Amino acid sequence: MTGTSTDGPLRVVVADDQALVRTGFRMILTADGIDVVAEVNNGEEAVAAVRRTRPDVVLMDIRMPEMDGLEATRRILTGAPGEPRVIILTTFDLDHFVYAALSAGASGFLLKDVTPEHLVAAVRMVRSGDALLAPAITHRLVERFAHRDSDTAALHRDLASLTPRELEVLGLLARGLSNAELAGRLHLAETTVKTHVTRILAKLGLRDRVQAVIVAYETGLVSVGGHVAAQRSAEQT
C-alpha cells in the first residue's frame, strides 16, 4: 500500500523544531483518530522519517535546523510514486515562503495559529487529494497576480485543450472551492467533479490543485476581483 492510500488510518509525520508545537499537533490529531507515526525536529529527520514510515501527510515547519522545511519538502516529493502530501506550517505568511513552498510541491500552506478543527480538516482534505491555502495567503496569492510580469510566464499553460466545462471547473477551483462545493455549485456528482479535476491536471501537465490555482490566475482565467472568465470562454467555443 502506498503512502497516499485512502484506506486505513490516516498516517502523519510532524516536523517542527519546537517540542511544544509537535506535542500540541500530536494531541490534536490523535484526539481525532489520526495516527502520528513520527515526530522530528529538522528537515533531515523529516526526510528519513517519511522514507521509514510512508505517511499520508507531512506537517512541515519551514524554519528548522540542519535542513529547512522547503528543502525537505523538495526531497520528499522528488521522484517516487505514492509520495505523501505536505502541508507547510509557519508563523510567517511572507510571499517568498508561499511561492517557495508551492514550487517545492506542497499541497497546503497554513499559519501556525490555525484552530485545531481547521488543522484536522486540512490534513483530511489534502489526504483526499484536495489542496488548500489559508484565506489570508490565498488573498496574497491573488494580489500577486494583480501585478503579473514576465517572471510569471514560465507558469503559462495553453487552456485551449480544456472543454468549456473544464474551464468552468478550473475557474471555480481557483476561487478555493472544494470538490464537494464544486459539485454543489455545478449540480454534479462529486465523482464527476473529481474526474474533471483529474483531466484538467493531466491536460495542463500540472502536479496538483495548487498549481492549477496559479495557472488560472496567471493565464487570466480568473481575475483578481474574483471574476471567472470561464463562461465567456465557453461562449466563444
pLDDT tens, residue by residue, 4-58 = 445 578 999 999 999 999 999 999 999 999 999 999 999 999 999 999 999 999 9
The rounded mean pLDDT for the chain is 79
**pLDDT tens digits for 178-229?**
788 889 999 999 999 999 999 998 898 887 777 787 788 778 787 655 444 4
Type of residue at 228: V
What pLDDT does 9 receive? 83
The strand pairing partners of 132, in sequence order, are 108
- Which domains, ranges and CATH numbers included, belong to the chain? 11-142 (3.40.50.2300), 149-236 (1.10.10.10)
Q: How many CA atoms lie within 13 A of 126 on its CB side?
A: 30
CB neighbour class for 200 (10 Å; exposed up to 12, middle 13-18, buried from 19): buried
Q: 5 φ, ψ to 5°?
A: -65, 145
Task: Select the highest-mean-pLDDT range: 22-31, 64-73, 88-97, 206-215.
Answer: 22-31
Cβ-contact 53, 11 below 8 angstroms: yes
Give the residue among 175, 155, 36 at the shortest CA–CA distance from 102. Answer: 155
* pLDDT band at 143; cut points 50, 70, 90: low
